[in-house]
A and B are shown apart, each in its own frame.
Chain A
Amino acid sequence: MANLHRFANPAQFQRLSRALLPWVAGITAILFVLGLYFALFASPPDYQQGDTVRIMYVHVPSAWMSLFCYTFLAVAGAVGLIWRHPLAFMSARAAAPIGAGFTFIVLATGSLWGKPMWGTWWVWDARLTSVLILFFLYLGHIALSRAFDDPARGAKAAAVLALVGAVNVPIIKFSVDWWNTLHQPASVSRLAGPAIDSSMLPPLFLMAFAFMGYFFTLLLIRIRADLASRKVQALRVAALAAAE
């Protein structure tokens, strides 16, 4: 019966997520529509990169989200390890595949952008290599979460991985500054301000917010699904126990 009492807390999450989800999803949808409109119709081609610049409007938001999501995994992991809050590990477990998806998008769209502009699909420079490593770390996190019969052990192992791998996040960010890379330096987050013309900022920021909204929408859905299936399991266990 102790198992069922653990769900008393998440009931609060259920109420909150039920109330928030339609709003977050709705705003995300609007942001995507606006973002895509600006990205495809209401922004100019770049003076040198032409219309390939439109790939930036999905590539860069995905990159920002893949770093944000991994940081989320590390923080949630730490909270779970230190304070043992069950929602912490659950959010990490729910977030990891989303982050892996974003990272896959970064790598694939980057490749499609690199071929016409750089002349190659891939190079082993510091930026691209460290992002590929991030992708492997995500896959490792997903695997570890599911590798043990006791999900708590998997969650702890994944949390440790998230913390150990967290050093990769600043490495990725500063790779273009610390080493010679083919990938160019930062265009937005620099002391001198964005190196992007104002006509190209609306699609970039709209899509960035859309991706962020998407992350939270999907996160809420996945946690709700996880809570529901855990409840199913707990009820089954309780029914079995009662039947004996």
Chain B
Amino acid sequence: MLDALRTFLGMGGYAAFVWPALILTAVVLVSMLVLSLQDLRRAERTLQGMEPADRPRRRRGAA
């Protein structure tokens, strides 16, 4: 069982290249997602704080 894990992690001797490449990809993709979600949450929270006081009049039948 441990042997299989070691083989898997070893990536045929190329572990020093394969794992950094995969991890780097994951880090870039996840950070972009997290940062973008943070921006969205922050903006929506601000918007919610503002709306009741400055709510623009809704037009009937507006899209």
Chain B residues with CB under 8 Å of A238's CB are: 54, 56
- In whole angstroms, how far apart are the Cα atoms of A62 and B59 in the complex? 44
What's the least CB distance linking A213 to chain B, in Å? 11
Q: Say what secondary structure dominates the interface of chain A.
A: helix
Which of A109, A225, A232 makes the CB contact (< 8 A) with B24? A109
Q: Is A108 an interface residue (CB 8 A)?
A: yes
List CB contacts (< 8 Å) of B9-44 with chain A: 11-14, 17-18, 20-22, 24-25, 28-29, 32-33, 36-37, 39-40, 43-44
Q: How long is the Cα–Cα vector from A155 to B1 in the complex, in angstroms?
A: 56
Chain B residues closer than 8 Å to A52, beta-carbon distance: 11-12, 14, 17-18
Looking across the interface, which residue of chain B has its beta carbon closest to that of A9?
A: B63
| A222-B14 contact, Cβ under 8 Å, with A112-B21, A228-B44 | no
Q: Tell me the chain B residues, 38-63 only, with Cβ under 8 Å from chain A.
A: 39-40, 43-44, 46-47, 50, 53-54, 56, 59, 62-63
Q: Which residue of A lies closest to B33 (CB)?
A: A218
Task: Report B-chain residues with C-beta under 8 Å of the C-beta of A50.
Answer: 11-14
User: Who on chain A is nearest to B40 by CB?
Assistant: A225
Please determine whether A4 and B21 come into contact, CB atoms closer than 8 angstroms. Answer: no
Contact A112 B62, beta carbon cutoff 8 Å: no
Q: Does A12 count as interface, using CB distance less than 8 angstroms? A: yes
A185 within 8 A of B: no
Chain A residues in 8 Å Cβ range of B28: 101, 104-105
Contacting B at CB under 8 A, from A43-74, are 45, 50-52, 54-55, 58-59, 62
Evaluate contact between B11 and A54: CB separation under 8 angstroms: yes
The answer on a CB contact under 8 Å between A225 and B21 is no
Q: List 16 A-B contacts (CB under 8 A).
A: A4-B56, A11-B63, A50-B11, A51-B18, A52-B12, A108-B24, A109-B24, A109-B25, A112-B21, A115-B17, A218-B33, A225-B40, A225-B43, A228-B44, A228-B47, A238-B56
